[in-house]
A and B are shown apart, each in its own frame.
Chain A
Amino acid sequence: MATIKMVDIVKRFGKLEAVSHLDLEIKDREFLVLLGPSGCGKTTTLRSIAGLETIDEGEIWIGDELVNNKRASDRDIAFVFQLYALYPHLTAYKNISFPLETQGMNKKEIEERVKEVANILKINHILKKKPSALSSGDMQRIALGRAMVRRPKAFLMDEPIGTLDAKFREVMRTELKRLHIDIGATTVYVTHDQVEAMSMGDRIAVMHEGVMQQVGKPAEVYDNPKNLFVANFIGSPGMNFLNVTCVKSGNATKAVLASDESVSFQFSEKVYAYCVEKDTKQKGLVLGIRPEWIRIERKRDSNLVQSEIYVVEPLGPSKIIDLKVGNDIIRARTKADFEARIGDKVWIELIESKVHFFDKESGQAYKLGS
């Protein structure tokens, strides 16, 4: 296995810069997820690593080798498209050995290679079976086995489970992550689905409009998003955003809602001082808070902010409550047994330690606290 390193990559299609000065290093044995909406450049990045696209600027290193001028077939990389596409008429063994047979490798060596792969994937007992007799997880193992048998330096996967139905995808995602832990192969995995990215990635690289927005562990991108785009893209429902200005009146320090100046959230002196320091031009800030950090009280509490229940969305294990605050709608997550009726008045608190602030124009996050 190997590291993959991209230095200042640019890829253009005509006038369009699909990938813009991208730097990214994928560690040996790491499972890195490239995440972003369609058109963000993630697939182009992956295809550039594979050698299916020629980059216009920058360097791509696989291991300690510069591969810019190497053809795709010489890069020693396995590009996996769909993890459940097997030859139905061939046994599991034949499905795995197929790439080696087309290379003209001798039978004995093929057998050794297949055995080696089968040992890692724990599929020795099913090698004689045909795909129709296998479970989905086993089929995935066979498909990976077919890629592994060539001993590639890394796996590249482009939405390999994207077209499956929701339940099947859930199973596949757990299995695939587990397989990665067992075989420890460097993997770059492309998806537009933040759930897949969060659940599978050792690290997530979030892309938008060809530009790398943030690279970090799932908990980092979720808890400390670097900008509005990442904050909004990760999490379901996404983070709530409110335009606010920070104000001091008497002893009270608060964030006043831009959409309705009669509504304000009280914050500590520390947060106020911090916001004033950041908001030098007094153009206001964007306050961000995730749905699970909004506390709802049914009883009137003058320290909290009054709001009205706008929509109730039960999810089963929890509920999403859409709240009207001033002229904004924000979403809170509550327990399933929270009784809520549309039109009810409630009082809410934004948990201060979980509040984010962003620059209104650049969208960059300000770091609170430490």
Chain B
Amino acid sequence: MAEVVLKNVTKKFGAVTAISNMNLKVNSGELFVLLGPTGAGKTTTLRCVAGLERQDEGNIFIEGVNVDKFDPANRDVAFVFQYFSLYPHYTVRENLEFPLKPKHRRLPQNEIEDRVNEVSKILHIDHLLERKSDKLSGGEMQRVTIGRAIVRKPKIFLMDEPLSNLDAKLREELRAELKRLQMDIGATLFFVTHDQVEAMTMADRIAVLNKGKIQQLGIPFEVYNHPKNTFVASFVGSPAINFFSAEIKNSKLEIIKGKFEFNLVKEVMGKLKGFQGNLRIGIRPEDVDVSSKQADGSIQGIVYGIENMGVEKIVTIKVEDNIFKAVCSAGFESEVNAKISIKFNQTMLHFFNQDTGENLL
């Protein structure tokens, strides 16, 4: 099975611990995304798997084999980097043929041709085969780069931000194509990105990484709807989740002193029972309802800003010293400094420990 396993992997650069005791398993045929900000340790992780870095502690297994002592060339994984690395004076065809040419592969010429034709069709570059690679657009170059990785038919792909250097439109197009391609060829894809949209849209599972540690590992739905801590909650989702400090008084939750008061359901109350620390409440912008009319259970705020995104509007609201965001329909009309009624969808509140950031439920 084409799986990748990291067991207690630690990697240090001098005094800096880049990856700290990491455990994860990328399943065979899975599109697994490692997501995190710059410096989180994502690229280092991938480079350790490829054999371009050696971990200081722990073991790495590829297809069940411990590869700690293997050179990169013997790990049989295909690596695609952020920067296109093609031979500029070669045609697209020559670039695609190149990985198949080494003597030890001993592929007959007609087999090479078949593979190049097949890959170029999958990636929609079959009309470009005779073109020199320096005459290609960025998107075409990245397709060829991916093609060169696929043509060897490896079972495992490692990709390090392969879409980051492309413009927004192309990125959108290629992310769906890449996902579909991975499914169609049934390969294992270990994919690194700092872009949470890419992670959410592409991944079978996401591991959110920060400061060398995995914060949460799960399917996109879980990561978005049940973030394990405030880091994950705020890193995933755009516009970002809103946070408030809050208190529990006489089994009522009070968010923004003297404003929102909620009766907590028993189940939540039970879980929060005995919690002595400071409480931090998170609510996503789509779970904040705004209206120009006052309704039961709503509070008053002031419109701080309005952003028209076309498909929807983002309203920034000010209540006393709290500034937070709501997403509403494109048809919502209001103006800056106007009064506005706000309601929180109580069932969508997230409860965190203010000091540790941990999700309390």
Contacts and interface: CB of A to CB of B under 8 A. Distances in A.
Interface stretch (B71-79, B91-99, B194-202, B243-251): B194-202
A267 interface: no
Nearest to A196: B307
Contacts of A167: 234-235, 240
B201 A222 contact: no
Interface string A339-362: 000100000000000000000000
A291 B224 CA distance: 22
Contacts of B240: 167, 170
B346 interface: no
A37 to B, nearest CB: 6
Contact of A314 (B38, B220, B284, B307): B220
Given A37-B167, A167-B234, A316-B236, A235 B310 contact: yes
Interface string A188-224: 0000111100111000000000000000001100110
A176 to B, nearest CB: 10
Nearest to A221: B310
A166 B195 contact: yes
B200 A219 contact: no
A95 to B, nearest CB: 24
B238 A198 contact: no
A296 interface: no
B189 to A, nearest CB: 14
B215 interface: no
A208 to B, nearest CB: 12
Contacts of A314: 200-201, 220-221, 224
Nearest to B225: A316
Most chain A Cβ neighbours within 10 Å, of B168, B236, B330, B336: B168
B260 interface: no
A187 B37 CA distance: 32
A342 B183 contact: yes
B200 A316 contact: yes
A269 interface: no
A200 B336 CA distance: 13
B25 interface: no
Contacts of A37: 167
Most chain A Cβ neighbours within 10 Å, of B176, B194, B202, B310: B310
B222 to A, nearest CB: 11
B305 A177 contact: yes
B60 to A, nearest CB: 29
Given A166-B195, A314-B220, A317-B286, A194 B168 contact: yes
Contact of B284 (A181, A193, A317): A317
B307 A177 contact: yes
Nearest to B316: A174
A222 B310 contact: yes
A141 to B, nearest CB: 14
Interface string B275-318: 00000000011100000000000000000110111110010100
B3 to A, nearest CB: 22
B140 to A, nearest CB: 16
Most chain B Cβ neighbours within 10 Å, of A194, A233, A237, A292: A237
A234 interface: yes
Nearest to B318: A178
Contacts of B179: 311, 313
B304 to A, nearest CB: 6
Most chain A Cβ neighbours within 10 Å, of B307, B327, B330: B307
Nearest to A329: B176
Q: How many B residues touch the partner, as a band?
A: 35 or more
B237 interface: yes
A29 interface: no
Most chain B Cβ neighbours within 10 Å, of A177, A237, A313: A313
Nearest to A237: B172
Contacts, number: 101
A146 interface: no
Nearest to B176: A311
Contact of B169 (A195, A219, A232, A292): A232
Contacts of B169: 232-233, 238
B348 to A, nearest CB: 11
A339 to B, nearest CB: 11
A356 B196 CA distance: 31
A236 B167 CA distance: 12
Given A193-B168, A232-B169, A311-B179, A199 B201 contact: no
B218 interface: no
A310 B180 contact: yes
A292 B329 CA distance: 11
B335 to A, nearest CB: 10
Interface string A302-341: 0000000011011111001010000001010100000000
A316 B237 CA distance: 7
A333 B311 contact: yes
A178 to B, nearest CB: 5
A315 B309 contact: no
Given A232-B169, A238-B169, A315 B197 contact: yes
Contacts of B235: 167
A226 interface: no
Interface string A13-38: 00000000000000000000000011
Contact of B310 (A177, A200, A218, A342): A218
Contacts of B330: 219
B357 interface: no
A37 B138 CA distance: 13
Interface in B197-239: 197, 200-202, 220-221, 224, 234-239
19 contacts: A165-B194, A170-B238, A174-B305, A174-B325, A177-B305, A192-B167, A198-B308, A200-B307, A218-B308, A222-B308, A223-B310, A310-B180, A311-B180, A314-B201, A314-B220, A315-B201, A317-B237, A322-B176, A342-B183
Across the A-B interface, the 3 shortest Cβ-Cβ residue pairs = A222-B310, A199-B307, A313-B201
Interface of B: 37-38, 167-169, 172, 175-176, 179-180, 183, 194-197, 200-202, 220-221, 224, 234-240, 284-286, 304-305, 307-311, 314, 316, 325, 327, 330, 336
Given A167-B234, A167-B240, A198-B307, 19 more contacts: A174-B325, A177-B305, A223-B310, A232-B169, A233-B169, A235-B311, A236-B168, A238-B172, A291-B311, A311-B180, A313-B175, A313-B202, A314-B200, A314-B201, A314-B220, A315-B201, A316-B284, A317-B237, A322-B180
